[in-house]
Amino acid sequence: MGVPIRIDESIYDEARKVARAECRTIPHQIEFWAMIGKCALDNPDLPIEFVQDLLISKHQDRSLAEPFQFGKNDE
- Per-domain boundaries in the chain: 27-60
pTM of the model: 0.67
Find the Cα–Cα–Cα–Cα dihedral 35, 41, 44, 49, rounded to 10°. Answer: 30
The closest of 24, 14, 12, 7 to 59, measured between CA atoms, is: 24
Q: CA-to-CA distance for 16 and 48, rounded, in angstroms?
A: 21
Q: CA-to-CA distance for 3 and 30, rounded, in angstroms?
A: 13
- Banded model confidence at residue 57, pLDDT cuts 50, 70, 90: confident
Q: Where are the alpha helices (DSSP H) in 22-68?
A: 26-42, 48-57
Q: CA-to-CA distance for 41 and 56, rounded, in angstroms?
A: 18
pLDDT > 90 in the chain, percent: 48
Residue 74's pLDDT is 57
Q: At residue 75, does pLDDT exceed 70?
A: no
> How do residues 2-36 score in pLDDT, each as one tens digit?
889 999 999 999 999 999 998 999 999 999 899 88
